[in-house]
Amino acid sequence: MAQQPNVETTEGERPVLALEPGPAVKWRAGKPGVPSGPADVPSGGRFGSTGPDPGWAIKLVANAELPDDSANLKDVVIGLVQARAAAFGRAAIPEDIEAALVLCGYVEDPSPELEERRERWLAAVPHDSRPGATAVASLDRSLLVAKPEQIRHAQRRGEQS
């Protein structure tokens, strides 16, 4: 609508073209305890050391065919797969599931010690703070990062942890 000639307008009443927004201002945390950068995020100790994308391990295990359909077995396998992937500094892969199942004693002709260890791990799942924490804590790191064939060989020789 056009301006009527008998109505006077001042400079403040006239429309102003809006300029583009200025550069973004750097954000800073305004509350104590809020991390302001990646270096401030706590890790280690009670916070743990998560590997890259632990959710991918959950998806892999959910889609894998496990020898038992138990929720406790899934949790133990998830914990072992996540720990193994974190030890390598990469996301989980199907070989990690195979290694976790071998560690759980799902091999041909398992020893009674392997079956007893698996039952102990499965019984501890409801009490674990995160899936498979008891299983991961009871294993030696060198056995955790070994290839499935090496784990089978170590179990045949009687090396359990």
Angstrom CA distances, 78 to 64, 73, 91, 96, stand at 11, 8, 12, 10
Average pLDDT over residues 46-50: 65
In this prediction, residue 161 carries a pLDDT of 53
In this prediction, residue 61 carries a pLDDT of 94
Quick: pLDDT tens for 85-105. 988 888 999 999 999 999 998
Quick: pLDDT tens for 137-156. 999 989 999 999 999 888 88
Assess whether pLDDT exceeds 70 at residue 51.
no
In this prediction, residue 32 carries a pLDDT of 76
* Residue of 100, 102, 82, 101 lying closest to 92 (CA atoms): 82
Helix axes of 94-103 and 148-156: crossing angle, nearest 10 degrees = 10
Residue 98, Cβ density class (10 Å: 0-12 exposed, 13-18 middle, ≥19 buried): middle
In this prediction, residue 49 carries a pLDDT of 61
Average pLDDT over residues 107-124: 91
pTM: 0.68
Assess whether pLDDT exceeds 70 at residue 106.
yes
